[in-house]
Chains A and B, each alone.
Chain A
Amino acid sequence: MKTVRKLTPSKSADPTRKISLTVNGETVEREVSVRMLLSDFIRHELGLTGTHVGCEHGICGACTIIVNGESSRSCTILAVQSDGMDLRTIESVAEKGGCLHPIQQAFQDNHALQCGYCTPGMIMNIISEFESNSKIDTSEESIRELLSGNLCRCTGYANIVEAVRDAAERMGKN
C-alpha cells in the first residue's frame, strides 16, 4: 500500500550568503550555506561532477581545481570563501566535443589512468604546474615530486610519470 509522501523541507536551518564568482569563464551567483564545502558547491550546486571527492581532509588531491591560477584542494575551502574568485575545473580543460588537452591526451596514450577517479585532480594539478613554469624538469625524481599531492590507488604512478614527461615534450616544456 502506498503511504502518504512526507513533505521535504526546501532548505536547512543553515545561514546562507550570496556569492559571486567565475567558474570556467562563466559568472556564477548563488546563495550558499556558510558551511558548504567548495567541492560540494561545484559538484552538487553547479553540477560539475568531474571534480571528485576522495578524503575531504586535504590529503588525496582528487578534488584539486585551479583557484586564481593556483592548484587548490576544493574540499578544504568553503564555498563562501570563493566569493570573487576565478575557478577552473576539469570540465574547462578539453574543447567541448573536440580535442583533448595535450596533458589529457598524454594520459590516454600512456595508460596513465584506470578507474579515473583521481584523474581530474591529477590533471588540474599538472596543468597548474605547466602554466606557472616555462620549463618542467622531466627527471624521474622531479616529476614524482610534482605529482606528490595526488594519490592514485590503481596505476602505481609509473604511467602517470610517463604521461607528464610526454606532455612536457608535446607542449615544448621539457
Chain B
Amino acid sequence: MSTRTFGTRVKRNIDPKFLRGEGSYVDDIDLPGVLHATFVRSPFARAKISKIDVQDALSMEGVMAIYTCDNIGKLDIELPLLIPHDCMKDARTQRPLARDDVYYVGQTVAMVVAINRYVAEDAALLVDVDYEPLPVEVDLEKAVLDSAPLVHPTHPKNIAADLVQVSGDPEAAMLKADHVTKIRVEVERSTAASMETRSVAARYDRVSGELTVWDGTQAPLTVRGGLASIFEMDEDKVRVIAPDVGGGFGQKVMFPYPDELLVPMAAMELGYPVKFIEDRRENFIGSNQERKQIHDIELYATKDGEVLALKDFFLHDTGAFIPYGIAIAQVASTSIAGPYQIPNIHVQFQAVYTPTITITPYRGCGRPQACFAIERAMDQLADDLGMSRFEIRRKNLIADDQFPYVREGLMFADGLRVSMDSGQYQTALDMVEEKIGAKDFPKLQEQARSEGKHLGLGLAFYVEGTGLGPYEGGHIKIHPITGKVYVNTGLSGQGQGHDTVFAQIVADQLGVKVEDVILTEGDSGAFDWGVATFASRAAVVSGNAIHKTAIIVRKKTIVAAANMLEVGEDEVELRDGHAWVVNSNRCVSLAAVATATNPLRYAFNEAAKAATQFAPASKHDGPALDDGQSPGLEATDYFSPACATWAYGVHAAIIEVDDVTCSAKVVKYVLIHDCGNMINPTIVEGQVMGGLAQGIAGTLYEKIEIDEDGNITNANFVDFLVPYATEIPPVEIYHLETPSPLNPLGVKGVGEAGCIAVGATIASGLADALEKFNKPKFLSLPITPSMIFDVISDEAQN
C-alpha cells in the first residue's frame, strides 16, 4: 500500500504559483481591447428618480456606452428570489439598474463603459440623475413600528418574513420551570471584506456565439445557469469560470449582483471584452453584508440548572431586498439551542426590510448571532443560579450516546430537520477547562485584582451545521501520456486549499503523488454539475463525491492492470504512479494502463503503440470496446448528503482589561474543535485560525456604521478596522475527531467554525473580569472601548 496522505500535513499544491505572483484573479486575465465598466450609484437611501440624463457623459472622449434601465432590454427585471420559502410573501429583489425608485445608498442606477476605469469614473460623475428623497428609518427596532416609513409599500411594518418554529412543548415546559433568565442581545452589521473585491469580466465570441465570463464568485455554475436563463441562451454557449478568487467568506455566493449580468450584456452588445473590478468603497456600499440581529432570549430552568425550555424572538435586518431568502435567519433560529439538550424550543424571527445594502451570508451565516444569544444567556443563567459557567454547560450538553440528536420541528437551511449527528461535547468541555487552566484561574484572578487589574475567563460553546446538500460531483481522468490525474468538481475555491485536500483523497485511492493530482474547479467548461461553495460544504460534499469517483477509477485501473500484467485483480496494488504485482518488481505505469485502455489506431508516441489495432495486447476477437465499456481510466460520480453534518467546538479565553485605554487584551485563547476526520490538519487549522481572526474582528473592531440617512460612514479601510497582525492574538488549537456517520470519509465542514464563538467568548471573559461593576454585561457586539469605559467609569464616580 502507498502511504495514506489523508490526515497528514501535506503542503499545498497551489502555493508556488501564488508565491511567485502567478495567480490569476479576474483582473489579471489578459483580455486585449478590454473595456472597463463602472456604476452611477444612488446617494440616497430611498428616493424617487425623476430624470436620468446621460448626454454629457456619453459625449466624453473614451466613453463607449452608458446603460440605464431603459436600454438594457430583458435585463430590466426584478432579479430572481434564489431561495424561496413560504414565510415570505411577495419577496422583494433588486433590479440590475434602478427603475423609478432607489432603496439604498450605493444601489446601481447606471453603468458606464469606457476605455479605462479613469474615464469611466469621470463619465459616471457627469450622469445627471434627479432624485426626490423619501423619508427613511434605518434603525432595525424602529423600522417595525407603525410610524416607520416603508421601504416597500407592499410590506407593512417593513416585515419581509415572519417564521415561528417549535420543537417539543415549550408552553408546558415553561410552567414547570423554577427560574427564567431573560436577556436581550444584539450583533451589529459587518462585512466580509475579502482582500480581492468582487470582479467580473466577459468576452463574447461573435463567430461561435459563445459567452465566456470570468467571475470572482463562489457559485460559478449557478451564475452560468442564471446567465443562460436570463439571456435565453443555450447553457453550452455560456461558460463561467471562477479563476483564482481572493477570498469569499459568503459575500461572493449570491448571484446575480447587477454587474454579473450587465458586464456580460455589454460584452455581447459592444463586441469587445468588458470588465468590472469593484473598488473598495463599492465593496462597502454595493456588495452584500450580514450580522445585524436583536434577540430576546429566555431560558426556563430548574433550580439546579437544567434548561427545560428556550424561547427566542429576534429581528433580522435583511436590508432593502431579500434575494437569498431567509437563509441566515433560518440558520440562526435552528442553531439557537447550541449544543444543549433543550427539548422544548419556541423560536420566532421577523426579517425586516431596511433601506440599506442587502443582507446575504457572511462567514458564520446566523451562527455567530445564535451562539452569542444562547451562550450569553447560559452565562447569565449560571450567574442567576449561583453555578459556574462550566457546571451549567456540563449539566445541559448533549451526551455522546444521545446522537443523532434530533430537534423535531426545527427545519435547517437545507430544508431538512435538525439532526445533530455526532460529537463528544462533554470531552471537549473537559479539554478546554484543562487547557485554559480553569482550576487555577480563580487564584490568578484574585491576584490580578489585588494588583488593581481586571482579569476574566471567557467561555463559549458552538455548533455548526455543515456540508449541506443538495449534491456535488467529481470527475477523474488519468491522463494517458503523463499519467497525471485530472480532477474536476463544480464548486469553486477562494483560498481554502481544495486542490490539495481533494488531491489527497484521490492520491490515496490511486497510489499517486499528491502533486500529480491536478484539480480544476469552478469552470463550467470543465465540469458543469454542482451547486456552489457555501456552508462549509466543499470537503464534505465535493470531497466525498471525488472519493466515490476515485474508488471507481481505482477499480477500473486494477482490472486493466491485472489484464496487462496477466495476474488476478487481487494481486495488483497501486503505488508510486504504477500498478504492481504484489510482492514482485513487475509493474506497469498508470500512464501505460490509461493508454492501453484507450484502443487506438495511431501510434502517436511509444506508449500508444501498445494500444494500436495490430499490437499483441489489443483485442482481436470482437469490438475494441464492449457494449457499455468506455475508453480510458475515467469516471464521474456524485455525493448527496442525507442531511447536514454538525461540527462543534468550544472556546475559552483569559481576558485582561486595560483601565487606561479601556481595551480588552486577550492573554490566552484556547479552542477545541471537532470537524470529524481531518483530511489535512494544517489546512483545518488555517481555516479555524482565519475564522477566529474574523471573529476577533467582529468582536472588538469591525462594525458598518450607518447614519440616520442611510449612509455608510466608514466605507473604507481607514475607518472600518480590519485587524492587522498586531490585533490578532496567538491561539492554541486542539482537535477532537468524531467521524461523521453521514459520509464515507467521516468528515464535517470547518470553513466557518473559527468565527462563531469568539464574540460570546470574549464577552464572557470581559463580564467575568468586570464582575464587580454592577452593570449589564456585554450583550452586544462589537465591544468597543467606550462600552468598557462606561462600565468602569461609573464605578470610578462612585
Partner among A8, A36, A113, A152 whose Cβ is within 8 Å of the Cβ of B19: A113
Say whether B181 faces chain A, with CB atoms less than 8 Å apart: no
Whole-angstrom CA separation of A147 from B725 in the bound complex: 6
Q: Is the CB of A100 within 8 A of B19?
A: yes
Say whether A53 faces chain B, with CB atoms less than 8 Å apart: yes
Q: Is the CB of A52 within 8 A of B25?
A: yes
Partner among A94, A115, A144 whose Cβ is within 8 Å of the Cβ of B726: A144
- Chain B residues with Cβ below 8 Å from A62 are 195
The chain B residue sitting closest to A7, CB to CB, is B64
Say whether A111 faces chain B, with CB atoms less than 8 Å apart: yes
Whole-angstrom CA separation of A109 from B11 in the bound complex: 7
Whole-angstrom CA separation of A118 from B21 in the bound complex: 10
- Chain B residues with Cβ below 8 Å from A116 are 14-15, 17-19, 23, 244, 246, 495
List residues of B (682-709) whose CB comes within 8 Å of A's CBs: 682-683, 685-686, 689-694
Say whether A148 faces chain B, with CB atoms less than 8 Å apart: yes
Would you give the shortest CB distance from B63 to chain A, in whole angstroms?
9
List residues of A (139-154) whose CB comes within 8 Å of B's CBs: 140, 143-145, 147-154
Would you give the shortest CB distance from B653 to chain A, in whole angstroms?
15
List residues of B (3-58) whose CB comes within 8 Å of A's CBs: 11-12, 14-25, 27-28, 30, 33, 35
Whole-angstrom CA separation of A56 from B30 in the bound complex: 21
Known contacts: A53-B27, A100-B20. The answer to whether A159 contacts B62 by CB under 8 A is: no
Q: How many A-B residue pairs have CB under 8 A?
A: 207
Size of interface on A: residues with Cβ below 8 Å to B: 68
Q: Is the CB of B690 within 8 A of A156?
A: yes
List residues of B (256-288) whose CB comes within 8 Å of A's CBs: 269-272, 279-280
Partner among A9, A49, A111, A157 whose Cβ is within 8 Å of the Cβ of B62: A9
Q: Is the CB of B689 within 8 A of A115?
A: no
Would you give the shortest CB distance from B521 to chain A, in whole angstroms?
14
- Chain B residues with Cβ below 8 Å from A119 are 18-19
Would you give the shortest CB distance from A81 to chain B, in whole angstroms?
16
Would you give the shortest CB distance from A11 to chain B, in whole angstroms?
7
Say whether B119 faces chain A, with CB atoms less than 8 Å apart: yes
Known contacts: A12-B115, A91-B21, A100-B19. The answer to whether A115 contacts B717 by CB under 8 A is: no
- Chain B residues with Cβ below 8 Å from A14 are 118-119
Known contacts: A94-B19, A156-B690. The answer to whether A9 contacts B12 by CB under 8 A is: no
The chain B residue sitting closest to A118, CB to CB, is B195
Whole-angstrom CA separation of A11 from B685 in the bound complex: 49
Known contacts: A49-B21, A100-B16. The answer to whether A156 contacts B728 by CB under 8 A is: yes
Q: Is the CB of A55 within 8 A of B280?
A: yes
**Contact string, A98-131, partner B, CB cutoff 8 A, digits 1/0?**
0010001001110101111111100100000000
Whole-angstrom CA separation of A119 from B493 in the bound complex: 17
The chain A residue sitting closest to B193, CB to CB, is A153
Q: Is the CB of A114 within 8 A of B195?
A: no
Partner among B119, B495, B497 whose Cβ is within 8 Å of the Cβ of A12: B119
- Chain B residues with Cβ below 8 Å from A148 are 724-726
Q: Is the CB of B21 within 8 A of A115?
A: no
Say whether A136 faces chain B, with CB atoms less than 8 Å apart: no
- Chain A residues with Cβ below 8 Å from B194 are 115, 117, 153
- Chain A residues with Cβ below 8 Å from B440 are none
Q: Is the CB of A47 within 8 A of B725?
A: no
Say whether A21 faces chain B, with CB atoms less than 8 Å apart: no
Say whether A85 faces chain B, with CB atoms less than 8 Å apart: no
Whole-angstrom CA separation of A63 from B728 in the bound complex: 22
Known contacts: A5-B271, A56-B280. The answer to whether A151 contacts B195 by CB under 8 A is: yes
Q: Is the CB of B61 within 8 A of A115?
A: no
**Contact string, A29-60, partner B, CB cutoff 8 A, digits 1/0?**
00001011000100100011111111111011
Whole-angstrom CA separation of A32 from B268 in the bound complex: 30
The chain A residue sitting closest to B280, CB to CB, is A55
Q: Is the CB of A117 within 8 A of B115?
A: no
Say whether B368 faces chain A, with CB atoms less than 8 Å apart: no
Would you give the shortest CB distance from A60 to chain B, in whole angstroms?
6
Say whether B522 faces chain A, with CB atoms less than 8 Å apart: no
Say whether A72 faces chain B, with CB atoms less than 8 Å apart: no
Whole-angstrom CA separation of A60 from B691 in the bound complex: 19
- Chain B residues with Cβ below 8 Å from A145 are 726
Q: Is the CB of B20 within 8 A of A93?
A: yes
Q: Is the CB of A49 within 8 A of B28?
A: yes
Given A9-B62, A43-B28, A152-B725, 7 further pairs, Cβ under 8 A: A50-B23, A59-B718, A111-B11, A111-B683, A113-B19, A115-B194, A161-B725
Q: Interface on A for B, CB 8 Å cutoff?
A: 2-3, 5-6, 8-9, 11-14, 33, 35-36, 40, 43, 47-57, 59-60, 62, 89-91, 93-94, 100, 104, 107-109, 111, 113-120, 123, 140, 143-145, 147-161
A-B contact pairs, 7 of them (CB 8 A): A6-B64, A6-B271, A11-B62, A60-B195, A114-B496, A115-B196, A154-B686
